[in-house]
Amino acid sequence: MTFSPSKRAVRALRKRGARTAAFALVITFFTVFFAFPLFSIVARGLLSADTPVVTLFADLFATERFRRVLWFTVWQATVSTVLTLVVALPGAYVLSRVAFRGRQVLRSLVMVPFVLPTVVVGSAFLAVLGPRTPLNPLLQVVFQDPTFTLDLRRSVTAILIAHVFFNYAVVVRTVGGVWSLLDPRLDDAARTLGAGRLRAFFSVTLPALKAAIASAATIVFLFTFTSFGVILILGGVTRATIEVEIHRATTQLLDLPLAAALSVVQLVAVIATLWVYGRIQRRVVYPAFVSERDVAQTPRGVLERSFLAANLVVMALLLALPLLVLVERSLQTPSGYGLRHYVAVFTTQPTTALGVSGAKALTNTLMFGVWATLIAVSIGTLTALLAASRQSFAARLLDRSLMVPLGTSAVTLGFGFLLAFRYLPPQLRSSAALIPIVQAVVATPFVVRTVLPVLTGIDKNVRDAARVLGASHRQVTRHIDVPIASRAVLAAAGFAFAIAVGEFGATVFLARAEYPTLPVAIFRLLGRPGITNFGEAMALSVILALMTATAIVLIDRLRLGNIGRF
Partner 1 sequence: MARRPFDIGVIVFRFRSGALLASLLLLLVACGSDDGATLPDTAAAPDGEREVVVLTHDSFDVSTDVIALFEETHGITVRLVPLGDAGTALNQAILTADAPQGDILFGVDNTFLTRALDADLFDPYLPGNFEQINANVLEELQAWSSAAAFSVDNPPPLVPITYGDVCVNYDKAWFAARDLAVPTDFVDLVDPAYRGLLTIMNPATSSPGLAFMLASITAFDDEYLSYWRQLTDNDVLITNGWSQAYYDEFSASGGDRPLVVSYASSPPAEVLFADPPVDEAPTGVLLDTCFRQVEFAGILNGAANRAEAELFLEFMLDIPFQEDIPLTMFVFPVNTQAVLPDVFVEHAEMPETVTSFGLLTDTQRDVFLTEWSAIMLG
Applying the rule CB under 8 A, the residues between 340 and 369 that interact with partner 1 are: 340, 350-355, 367
Beta strands 332-333; 336-337: pairing state = antiparallel
Contact between 466 and 295 (Cβ < 8 Å): no
Which parts of 458-565 fold into alpha helices (H)? 460-468, 473-476, 482-502, 507-510, 518-526, 531-557
Give yes or no for residue 478 binding partner 1 (CB under 8 A): yes
Is the Cα dihedral 157, 163, 165, 170 positive or negative?
negative
Q: Which residues in 72-90 are b (16+ Cβ under 10 Å) and which e?
A: bbbebbeebbebbbebbbb
Give yes or no for residue 254 binding partner 1 (CB under 8 A): yes
Contact between 446 and 219 (Cβ < 8 Å): yes
Give yes or no for residue 396 binding partner 1 (CB under 8 A): no
In this complex, which beta carbon is closest to partner 1, that of residue 149 or of residue 297? 149
Q: Which of residues 289-348 bind partner 1 (CB under 8 A)?
A: 333-335, 340
Q: Which of residues 446-475 bind partner 1 (CB under 8 A)?
A: 455-456, 458, 460, 463, 473-474
Give yes or no for residue 422 binding partner 1 (CB under 8 A): yes
**Nearest-5° Cα angle at 533, 527 to 536:** 120
Q: Which of residues 494-523 bind partner 1 (CB under 8 A)?
A: 508-509, 511-515, 523
Q: Which residues in 175-199 are b (16+ Cβ under 10 Å) and which e?
A: bbbbbbbbbeebbeebeeeebeeee
Give yes or no for residue 479 binding partner 1 (CB under 8 A): no
In this complex, which beta carbon is closest to partner 1, that of residue 18 or of residue 397? 18
Give yes or no for residue 427 binding partner 1 (CB under 8 A): yes
- Cross-strand pairs, 98: 297
Q: Is 336 helix (H, G, I), strand (E, B) or coil?
A: strand
Which residue of 63, 157, 430, 550 would you call a contact of partner 1, by CB under 8 A?
430
Rg (CA), the chain: 25
In this complex, which beta carbon is closest to partner 1, that of residue 146 or of residue 426? 426
Q: Which of residues 197-236 bind partner 1 (CB under 8 A)?
A: 232-233, 236
Size of the site for partner 1 (CB under 8 A): 100
Q: Provide, rounded to whole angstroms, the least separation between the CB of residue 105 and partner 1.
A: 28
Q: Provide, rounded to whole angstroms, the least separation between the CB of residue 160 and partner 1.
A: 18
In this complex, which beta carbon is closest to partner 1, that of residue 90 or of residue 236? 236
In this complex, which beta carbon is closest to partner 1, that of residue 4 or of residue 351? 351
Which residue of 477, 550, 557, 558 would you call a contact of partner 1, by CB under 8 A?
477
Contact between 64 and 442 (Cβ < 8 Å): no
Give yes or no for residue 122 binding partner 1 (CB under 8 A): yes
Q: Which of residues 165-204 bind partner 1 (CB under 8 A)?
A: none
Q: Which of residues 42-61 bind partner 1 (CB under 8 A)?
A: 44
Element (H, E) at 333: strand 332-333
Which DSSP state fits 203? I
Report the C-alpha gap between 361 and 117 in whole angstroms.
Answer: 14
Q: Which stretch binds partner 1 (CB under 8 A): 54-62, 88-96, 302-310, 384-392?
A: 384-392
Contact between 404 and 267 (Cβ < 8 Å): yes
Give yes or no for residue 374 binding partner 1 (CB under 8 A): yes
In this complex, which beta carbon is closest to partner 1, that of residue 403 or of residue 526? 526
In this complex, which beta carbon is closest to partner 1, that of residue 5 or of residue 425? 425
Which residue of 288, 312, 366, 418 would you call a contact of partner 1, by CB under 8 A?
418
Report the C-alpha gap between 68 and 72 in whole angstroms.
Answer: 6
Give yes or no for residue 248 binding partner 1 (CB under 8 A): yes
Give yes or no for residue 67 binding partner 1 (CB under 8 A): no
Report the C-alpha gap between 451 and 379 in whole angstroms.
Answer: 12
Q: Is 144 helix (H, G, I), strand (E, B) or coil?
A: coil
Which residue of 195, 360, 481, 553 would you call a contact of partner 1, by CB under 8 A?
481
In this complex, which beta carbon is closest to partner 1, that of residue 161 or of residue 526? 526
Report the C-alpha gap between 536 and 529 in whole angstroms.
Answer: 12
Q: Provide, rounded to whole angstroms, the least separation between the CB of residue 433 and partner 1.
A: 5
**Nearest-5° Cα angle at 385, 381 to 391:** 140
In this complex, which beta carbon is closest to partner 1, that of residue 109 or of residue 489? 489
Give yes or no for residue 565 binding partner 1 (CB under 8 A): no
Give yes or no for residue 237 binding partner 1 (CB under 8 A): yes
Report the C-alpha gap between 129 and 150 in whole angstroms.
Answer: 6
Give yes or no for residue 72 binding partner 1 (CB under 8 A): no
